[in-house]
Amino acid sequence: MSNRRLLATLAVVGVVVLAGCAGGISTTDAGPASTATTDDPSTTAPETTETATPEGELAVHQLNVGQGSSTLVIGPGGETILIDTGDWRDDGEEIIAYLESQGVTRIDHLVTTHPDADHIGGHEAVIDHYETELDGVGAVYDPGIASSSGTYDEYLDAIERHDVTLYQTQAGDSIQMDGVDVQVLAPPEGYVANEDSNENSIVLYLQYGASSFLLPGDGETASEEYLVETYGNSLNATVLAVGHHGSRSSTSEAFLDAASPQAAVISSAYDSQYGHPHEEVLTRLEANSIPTYWTATHGRVVFTSNGSAVTVATQQTAPTTATQLRSGDPIEPGTMGAVTERLVIDADGSGTAPITDPAETTTDSTATPTATDGGTALELVNVHADAEGDDGENLNDEYVVFENTGSSSVDLSGWTLADAADHTYTFPDGVVLDPGDQITIYTGSGTDTETELYWGESAPVWNNAGDTVILRDETGTIVLEETY
């Protein structure tokens, strides 16, 4: 595939800036931002403005496509954006099946983040199917960097065959979606990193009410450096789609600091040939206390925003502490089936709250102490969340204390302790709490005793401003849940 062929295809419409909504992300450059449509894609994006709580819901579906990526966005008015279509080996079949299961009869916007075959694998099939069997594809958005692969050639053939509008898309552009501000943050005009395709992925920022989603494609070091330098803390997002499938070349500490997500999602295969997601990235996510979802173990992940809160739903339960993701059970790519709500995130950054499945709950979630069978009862008697000095440097001054206020001993072997972000500690075998006794679980490291246990975390767990303490028995049943 030659650049000449790509440029000839793009010349049908030229370089177009797409009219979008005002508001949203701003650059770090001084001076007021313009909201006028312009032919210069490097124009500074609009400054953030106060917005009323919108009507309806925005849904962002991260599909489980194995070692690839595909994201479906459904706006409050039913408009759709499909971002990438997974790996070439699936040839779009699973993507089409899922779109139809969601009642999607038209793809208003098809975004090609970059030309890699694990992101555009279903493009040709999707375009052909929607143009011949359903209501078509409104427009395709491409960063303008060609690939020599047959998959990319077939994608452009489909665009030409059905005369679908194709836009070369760069920083400063925006995509129209009623009620949602969809801005293109990258690639910049002139590109970065010698036009490397990953580094010049289309990066989208979706703003809906107080909630926001940052979707960086396969952007790596150069892309992230450009984003941080250009937009700074305006990158702040409720949800981050982790770049390049969790590769160590993405999701730097500086980028995480700027984005400050309240949740993250990774799309990659359970047995990725590249080792995705890399441990360095998982460690950074955990150190920042970011609940992390992985399509390989959670299956499809759906984020639904009403403008003030984002609900997270997954196909199956699995750990969300980043460094524990691999302990979850794998789920096959393309597996259909319903999702279950797991977590609610306040879009203003005030916190998160887990959603308990009533079928798994046998007690009043607000009661403390909570009785268990056999006349035993456990009570949360102390949460010491605010350690003296720097919390991160004094992890063993962060702890929780439980007391057995019942009349029988409690065998805690295999029980789990978790917070609202699903950081989870498992009690070791042989831990028994006798009537009247207390046990303390410290966040840091140390030598366990009969009355003192050490979580072994490398970062604080319990939020100083408030959190939820969740204690489950060895069957996973919640026996105590208390918010402080």
More confident residue, 28 or 21: 28
What angle do helix axes 3-10 and 150-162 make, rounded to 10 degrees?
A: 20
The two structure tokens encoding residue 269: 């295969």
Measured CA to CA in angstroms, residue 466 lies from 125, 385, 396 at distances of 49, 8, 18
Q: What Rg value do the Cα atoms of the chain yield, rounded?
A: 24
pLDDT of residue 36: 27
Report pLDDT digits (tens) over 310-345.
Answer: 999 999 999 999 999 999 999 999 999 899 999 999
Q: Is the pLDDT of residue 361 over 80?
A: no
The two structure tokens encoding residue 410: 């409690």
Return the domain boundaries, the chain. Answer: 3-355, 360-483
**Average pLDDT of every residue of the chain:** 86
How sure is the predictor about 5, in pLDDT bands with cuts at 50, 70 and 90? low
pLDDT of residue 26: 61
More confident residue, 424 or 478: 424
The two structure tokens encoding residue 222: 């150069």
Q: Is the pLDDT of residue 226 over 50?
A: yes
pLDDT (mean) for 394-408: 91
Report pLDDT digits (tens) over 184-193.
Answer: 999 999 999 9
pLDDT (mean) for 33-52: 39
CATH number of 3-355: 3.60.15.10
pLDDT (mean) for 189-216: 97
How sure is the predictor about 358, in pLDDT bands with cuts at 50, 70 and 90? very low
pLDDT of residue 394: 94
pLDDT of residue 24: 53
How sure is the predictor about 407, in pLDDT bands with cuts at 50, 70 and 90? confident
Class of domain 360-483: mainly beta
Q: What order of strands is seen across the sheet that includes strand 416-418?
A: 424-426, 416-418, 468-472, 478-483
User: How remote is the C-alpha of 34 from its chain's centroid?
Assistant: 30
Does residue 455 contact residue 286 with C-beta atoms inside 8 Å? no
pLDDT of residue 14: 42
pLDDT of residue 192: 97
Q: Is the pLDDT of residue 29 over 90?
A: no
pLDDT of residue 252: 97
Residues 6+ apart with CB under 8 A from 286: 292, 321, 322, 323, 423, 458, 459
From the list 152, 177, 182, 224, the residue with the least C-alpha distance to 6 is 152
pLDDT (mean) for 89-114: 95
Q: Is the pLDDT of residue 368 over 60?
A: no
pLDDT of residue 292: 97
Residues 6+ apart with CB under 8 A from 448: 428, 454
Q: Is the pLDDT of residue 426 over 90?
A: yes
pLDDT of residue 474: 84
Measured CA to CA in angstroms, residue 361 lies from 307, 335, 354, 377, 469 at distances of 29, 27, 13, 16, 15
How sure is the predictor about 21, in pLDDT bands with cuts at 50, 70 and 90? very low
pLDDT (mean) for 353-379: 46
Residues 6+ apart with CB under 8 A from 264: 239, 240, 241, 242, 285, 290, 291, 292, 293, 322
Q: Whole-prediction pTM value?
A: 0.71
Q: Is the pLDDT of residue 168 over 50?
A: yes
Q: Is the pLDDT of residue 156 over 70?
A: yes
pLDDT (mean) for 244-264: 97
**Rounded percentage of the chain residues whose pLDDT exceeds 90:** 72
pLDDT of residue 392: 87
pLDDT of residue 348: 84
Q: How many angstroms separate the CA atoms of 147 and 150, rounded?
A: 8
The two structure tokens encoding residue 448: 């366990």
Q: Is the pLDDT of residue 235 over 90?
A: yes
For residue 341, the cross-strand partners are 313
How sure is the predictor about 89, in pLDDT bands with cuts at 50, 70 and 90? confident
pLDDT (mean) for 463-483: 86
Q: Is the pLDDT of residue 6 over 70?
A: no
